[in-house]
Amino acid sequence: MSKVFSRRSIMNAIGGTAAAAGFFRPGTAVAKLKKDIEPRGSNGTLERLPTLDLDSYDDFSTATRIWINGDLTRASEQRAAEILKSHGVKPTDKVSFEDTVRWVADDPIIALRSASWQRLQWHMWQELRREFHGNFDAYMSELEAADASGPGVLELNPGIEPEYTKHEIHMQPGGYTGDPFAGHLYHYGTNNFYNGTNHQDQRHTALAGAVPVPADGKVRRILDMGCSCGQQVTALKQRFPDAEVWGIDIGAPMVRYAHMRAVDLGIDVNFRHALAEQTGFPDGHFDMVTSYILHHEVTAAASLQIVKEAHRILRPGGVFYPVDIYPSPTNRSDHGTAIRHVRDWMTHRWNHERWWNDYLTTDYIGEIARVGFTLQDAAREGVGYPMVAPGGPRNPLGIKPV
Ligand SMILES: C[S@@+](CC[C@H](N)C(=O)[O-])C[C@H]1O[C@@H](n2cnc3c(N)ncnc32)[C@H](O)[C@@H]1O
């Protein structure tokens, strides 16, 4: 007997009966528009948060995050330097990760920084979640109405999520796969994370603008892997209006939200609920494969498999453009230093980056060469936080040999 899902029992089979149908062909956007929830209108491409209260809260949490990332982080790093000095170690000395963490973990200033970050994350997710789950039926109706609207198609494949994709990275409740409003939460949560600098997809537009065109100039099909809310997918379509553009993500709620957003914007792009390591697209199908901050959130094995899959689905001369792959994190000059350990520990332990240590020890440069990519533009070592590259990407790009 086929299983019937109620709208509220879809946590593990996102999309319920609608998702079981799998593939949504575009219809008219009219049904969607009738269900649209936009009580406070839009600011450019971004729908305003639905209440003034929540908007004010967002201002508060953005300001708090700026303080944590600025003054409090500086104080915490200064304190780390003092502690290291008391152990006869400079921040740039190479020491063990375990020793470093043991020395700094219980210091009150460092603990204040870690706890403030974590509490703010928790609080921000809860406030957003209260809105979307508090109005479950309305938001779910909006998603359902968008599922079959176009332009662009949406393909859902319930039950394909491997365990490793279910962690609550960044403490997002339910993670990317387990909350039906994960896309809504991620979009507004990361707007906060970007300190208000990505409300109009500025970062994604800059990244889409930086992808090099294959030498023969042909860009007919593009894929963005781990696309979340689809911001890079829509930005790529705007740069290459004649191309067929796809986004894939293992979070069904992410691609549902991405599709709804694209429908709202009237941008003709397609989304598939799929693993980046097993996309389901034919060999040599794409001219360009991109990803933005995907690799640090998967296991080492998955990360390497994604590089292989990108090579398989790219045509000869196609471009692979993964932003957050560095030639090799272990080759960075600060690898193994005490201050790097402090930062990595904060990211892994307090920002709940579950696969951060896998990421740090993955041999990307070796894998890129092994699968047959030619590295065209080796990443320069970044200043500041390596994954988020303001003003343009610092990452390698592979050109598949002709
Ligand atoms: C940090 S977010 C990426 C942000 C996104 N690229 C953007 O432009 O904002 C990581 C995304 O990768 C997705 N993801 C994680 N593992 C994946 C996998 N193996 N295949 C496809 N998507 C994956 C997550 O569901 C999540 O949406």
Name the pLDDT band for 282 (thresholds 50, 70, 90): very high
Look-up of token digits 């839009």: 42
- The number of the ligand 1 atom at minimal distance from the alpha carbon of 176 is 25
**Can you give the pLDDT at residue 38?**
82
Q: Which residues lie closer than 8 Å to 357 by C-beta, 6 or more apart?
A: 344, 348
Q: How far is CA 55 from CA 31, 58, 59, in A?
A: 28, 5, 6
Residue 13 clears pLDDT 80, i.e. is over it: no
Q: Which of 25-29, 102-106, 159-163 has the lowest mean pLDDT?
A: 25-29
Instruction: Looking at mean pLDDT, say which of 18-27, 80-89, 187-196, 214-223 comes out highest.
Output: 80-89
Residue 275, ligand 1, Cβ within 6 A:
yes
- The number of the ligand 1 atom at minimal distance from the alpha carbon of 175 is 25
Give the whole-angstrom CA distance, residue 316 versus residue 320. 11
Residue 258, ligand 1, Cβ within 6 A:
no
Structure tokens at 3: 């299983």
Q: Which residues lie closer than 8 Å to 367 by C-beta, 6 or more apart?
A: 304, 307, 308
Residue 223 clears pLDDT 80, i.e. is over it: yes
**Can you give the pLDDT at residue 331?**
58
Query: What percentage of the chain exceeds 90 in pLDDT?
Result: 63
* Beta bridge partner(s), residue 83: none
Residue 291 clears pLDDT 70, i.e. is over it: yes
Output 97 or 377, whichever has higher pLDDT: 97
Query: What percentage of the chain exceeds 70 in pLDDT?
Result: 83
Report the pLDDT averaged over residues 71-87: 96
**Can you give the pLDDT at residue 96?**
94
Structure tokens at 32: 């969607």
Q: How far is the CA of 176 from the centre of ligand 1 (A)?
A: 8
Could you tell me the domains of the chain?
A: 26-37+135-399 (3.40.50.150)
Q: pLDDT digit string (tens) for 343-379?
A: 999 999 999 999 888 888 888 777 877 888 877 654 4
pTM comes to: 0.89
Indicate the SS3 state at residue 218: coil
Report the pLDDT averaged over residues 82-107: 96
**Can you give the pLDDT at residue 381?**
34
- The number of the ligand 1 atom at minimal distance from the alpha carbon of 232 is 8
**280 Rama class: left (phi>0) / alpha (psi -120 to 50) / beta:** left
**Can you give the pLDDT at residue 361?**
83
- Greatest alpha-carbon pair distance for the chain in Å reads 68
**16 Rama class: left (phi>0) / alpha (psi -120 to 50) / beta:** left
Residue 297, ligand 1, Cβ within 6 A:
yes
Residue 231, ligand 1, Cβ within 6 A:
yes
**Can you give the pLDDT at residue 8?**
53
Residue 185 clears pLDDT 80, i.e. is over it: yes
Q: Do 317 and 285 meet the contact criterion of CB atoms below 8 Å apart?
A: no
Rg for the chain, CA atoms, rounded:
21
Output 218 or 14, whichever has higher pLDDT: 218
Structure tokens at 300: 């080492």
